[in-house]
Amino acid sequence: MIHIKNYINGELIEPLNQEYLDNYNPATGKVYSYIPDSTEEDIEKAYQSAREAFPSWSKTTREERFRILNKIADLIEQNLKELAEAESTDNGKPVKLARKVDIPRASSNIRFFATAILHYASESHDMNGVAINYTLRKPIGVVGCVSPWNLPLYLFTWKIAPALAAGNTVVAKPSEITPMTAYLFSKLCIEAGLPKGVLNIVHGLGAKVGSAITKHKGIKAISFTGGTATGAEIAKVAAPMFKKLSLELGGKNPNIIFADCNFEEALRTTVMSSFANQGQICLCGSRIFVQRPIYEKFKTAFVEKTNKLKVGDPKDATTNLGALVSKEHLKKVVSYIRLAKEEGGTILTGGEQVHLEGELSEGNYLRPTIIEGLTFDCRTNQEEIFGPVVTIMPFETEEEVLLYANSTKYGLAATVWTQDVTRANRVASKLDSGIVWVNCWLVRDLRTPFGGVKSSGVGREGGFNALNFFTEPTNVCIKL
């Protein structure tokens, strides 16, 4: 079985303590590889190599950074099949989803920031002829990137690419639940000729390796994607050291469907936005609000379409939902279905685990679940479940649905379905949400600021915002 290695100072090496954790295949429930159980000492080693690499990497020309990053993106594309299969085995998602979305988007992230750095300019301000100000933007130094398990390579590259493009060196930690694609990625970085120490990937537990990054005095900025509770912990530790923080956190996204929507389009996309990646995308809509005149019709069609989704082997091209990422996560999601029933909800479809045959019999499969009959403010409708479980409820007016939609502590993404453009703009402007999709979902323009409001995060990444985050501005004021 493969022993995953850390990538430090340009080499693939064992953790210093030589200890490993089991890595499970969610589709079979079986251990299929081992992951370094790294410690603070490995982070220190990674930090030292990043520190040594910084003076030279930060002085490479933008064209050179562009060239190397593009080479890494080329290699991702050339290894699409292997990476997609690895991501599916590690995460439980259908291979076809990883092939179509996760891996191509990982290479787009890298190409996007490779190119963006060529066009990144700083500002100058003329003070009516009295003085002129210009802003220098310098890379910060050694920065930390910590990512979650749901879109493993996609979110990992989303952080690393702007950090490297801006001239920083990086100590990165992928999720211990899905380490494999980051490991394969480290091999591609070596093949692409990324200078040693520029990127260091240390595997292991959040409480050991992640917190060692947060606590490290030399790591000046942290870009984190993960749960809100973990984000709060990172902020608590990092704030007294005045680290720059970008926190992309949880969500409980509303999907608002007005009676005048394009019914078929709203229905088709809602099935996807509810259950893609087993509902484990931070941007999935988990609370579906449907305007009264079409409520019954939409509900019936939505249940019918959901019943047709196939839960099965992630390797099978006809599978729509694969396995949930871990036994613990499955247990958490199932506990919310129980809670929903206690809170008075009716399960319209799903609600049970799926037991497949043969080597998949121990896998973490759950039928996509739709729940009706809950109040907007009950726990099921307020807390992030992060699985293939959605609630559906009717509403009458715009004011009412805005109250429901904005009632949670989160504010990551929202979807609005209507043919009335004035209403679309009005509702979008009143939603507490980092992103509002109108008549679509998951359409991403990498130039736009990405992230949430309220407990969904701070410090928007995306486009030049990410390059701003990973650079330190100095304003120079010259008297004329």
- Residues identified as active-site: 248, 282
Residue 179 in the binding site for ligand NAD (CB under 6 A): no
Residue 36 in the binding site for ligand NAD (CB under 6 A): no
- Measured from the CB of residue 384, what is the shortest distance to ligand NAD in angstroms? 5
Residue 226 in the binding site for ligand NAD (CB under 6 A): yes
Nearer CB in complex with ligand NAD: 242/308: 242
Nearer CB in complex with ligand NAD: 364/418: 364
In the list 43, 53, 95, 146, the residue contacting ligand NAD (rule: CB under 6 A) is 146
In the list 160, 172, 249, 370, the residue contacting ligand NAD (rule: CB under 6 A) is 249
Nearer CB in complex with ligand NAD: 8/325: 325
Q: Are 438 and 431 in contact (CB under 8 A)?
A: no
Nearer CB in complex with ligand NAD: 349/406: 406
Q: Name the segment binding ligand NAD (CB under 6 A); options: 68-76, 88-96, 223-231, 335-343.
A: 223-231
Residue 227 in the binding site for ligand NAD (CB under 6 A): yes
In the list 54, 149, 275, 437, the residue contacting ligand NAD (rule: CB under 6 A) is 149
Nearer CB in complex with ligand NAD: 246/471: 246
- Here's the x/- map for ligand NAD, 444-473, by CB under 6 A: it reads as --------x---xx----------------
Nearer CB in complex with ligand NAD: 169/178: 178
- Here's the x/- map for ligand NAD, 90-119, by CB under 6 A: it reads as ------------------------------
- Measured from the CB of residue 136, what is the shortest distance to ligand NAD in angstroms? 30
Q: Report residue 123 as tokens.
A: 């500002």
- Here's the x/- map for ligand NAD, 266-305, by CB under 6 A: it reads as ----------------x-----------------------
Q: Report residue 361 as tokens.
A: 């019999």
Residue 214 in the binding site for ligand NAD (CB under 6 A): yes
Residue 251 in the binding site for ligand NAD (CB under 6 A): yes
Given the rule CB under 6 A, which residues bind ligand NAD? Answer: 146-150, 155, 173, 175-176, 206-207, 210-211, 214, 225-227, 230, 233-234, 248-251, 282, 384, 386, 412, 452, 456-457
